[in-house]
Amino acid sequence: MGIDQQPLDKHRILDEPFYIEQGNEVQLALAAYRNRLPLLLKGPTGCGKTRFMQYLAWRVKRPLITVSCHDDLSTSDLVGRYLIKGNETVWVDGPLTMAVKSGGICYLDEIVEARKDTTVVIHPLADDRRELPVEKLGKLFLADPSFMLAVSYNPGYQSVLKDLKPSTRQRFVSLTFAYPSTELEQQIVAKEGSVDTTLAGQLVKLAQMTRGLKESGLPEGASTRLLIQAAHLHRDGVDLVEACRAGITHSLTDDPDMLGAMDEMIASIF
C-alpha cells in the first residue's frame, strides 16, 4: 500500500481480549464492518466501550488505533502535519491517515470533546465517499476497503454545546452500551479483578447503590472499571474498605456529604 507497516504493528491485537457480550452488539458491529459502515458507541464511562473495540479489532484482525479526544484535538492531530527532522521538513501521517491508508480501525474516544473542525474530515469518511481530505498536502485519500471509523461518547455528560450534530450522528450505525446485568458484571469483575465471585458480587452491589445516587446529585455512579480497580488493590493486600474508598468512591466525588453516604454503603456491605 506504499506505507511503512511497522508503526501499525503495535496496534495489532494478537490475543483475544476478555469480553462478554451483553446483547447483539458483536453481530451488529461485524455487519457494519462488512458493509463498510462507521460505528457510534454510546454509553457511560467505564462500561466496556473501549474493550468492545479491542475485541472487534481482534475479531476482524485489523490494527486498532485509539485516539482519546480532548479540547485541543485538531484536524492536524488526526490527519498529520509537517515536522522538521534534521535539515528537512517531512510530512508525518496522523492516526486517522494511518488507519485510512492501512485499512485499520480508527477509534475516536469521546469525540464530542474534540474541536468542532474535526468534523470536516470525519464527514466524508463516515458516508459512502469514504474519503479523507488532507488540505495541507492537497490530496484526497480513498480509504482502504478494510478501514473502519468508530467514535464514542457519554450522553450523560453532554450539554447543548457538546453534543453530536444530527448531520454527524446520522452517518453512523449506533450501538448503545450500559452497565452489564448483575450476573454479567459479577463475572467480569471476578475475571478482570482476579477475585472470587462472592467479593465480585459485593463490589457490584456497591456500584449499583452508588448508581442510585444520580438523582441525589452524583454525576455518575461507579463504573465496572472502578470495581476492577478496587479488586486489584484489595488483592494486593489493601484493606477492603480502604480499597473501596480509594478505588471507587473517592474517584466519584469530592463532596463530603456524598462521600459520607457512600461510606455508609460500604459499611453495610462489608
Residue identified by cell 478501514 is 147
* pLDDT higher than 80, residue 263: yes
User: Nearest Cα to 106, choosing from 55, 43, 45, 53?
Assistant: 53
215 by Cβ neighbours in 10 Å (0-12 / 13-18 / 19+) ranks as exposed
Look over the chain and give the mean of its residue pLDDT values, rounded to a whole number: 92
Q: How far apart are CA 214 and CA 200, in angstroms?
A: 22
Q: What is the mean pLDDT of residues 171-185?
A: 96
Task: Report the pLDDT value the prediction gives residue 183, as an integer from 0 to 100.
Answer: 96
Torsion of CA 235, 238, 243, 246, to 10 degrees: -130
Task: Report the pLDDT value the prediction gives residue 116, as an integer from 0 to 100.
Answer: 84
Distances (CA, A) of 197 to 34, 85, 147: 37, 54, 39
What's the pLDDT tens digit per position in 229-257? 999 999 999 999 999 999 999 999 999 99
C-alpha cell of 134? 488532507
The three state secondary structure string of 126-148 is CCCCCEEEECCCCEEEECCCCCE
Sign (positive/negative) of CA torsion 245, 248, 254, 255?
A: negative
Q: How far apart are CA 214 and CA 219, in angstroms?
A: 6
What's the pLDDT tens digit per position in 86-138? 889 999 999 999 999 999 999 999 999 998 888 889 999 999 999 999 999 99
* pLDDT higher than 80, residue 3: no
Task: Report the pLDDT value the prediction gives residue 1, as an integer from 0 to 100.
Answer: 35
**Phi and psi torsions of 149, nearest 5°:** -105, 130
119 by Cβ neighbours in 10 Å (0-12 / 13-18 / 19+) ranks as middle
* pLDDT higher than 80, residue 4: no
pTM: 0.90
Q: How far apart are CA 122 and CA 205, in angstroms?
A: 40
Task: Report the pLDDT value the prediction gives residue 215, as an integer from 0 to 100.
Answer: 81
Q: How far apart are CA 248 and CA 231, in angstroms?
A: 10
Q: What is the DSSP letter of 118?
A: G
Our CA angle for 149, 170, 113, nearest 5°, is 60
Q: What share of the chain is helix, strand, coil (3-state, %, to 5)?
A: 45, 15, 35
Q: How far apart are CA 123 and CA 69, in angstroms?
A: 17
Question: 6: pLDDT confidence band, cut at 50, 70 and 90?
Answer: low
Strands 39-42 and 173-176: parallel
Task: Report the pLDDT value the prediction gives residue 7, as an integer from 0 to 100.
Answer: 66
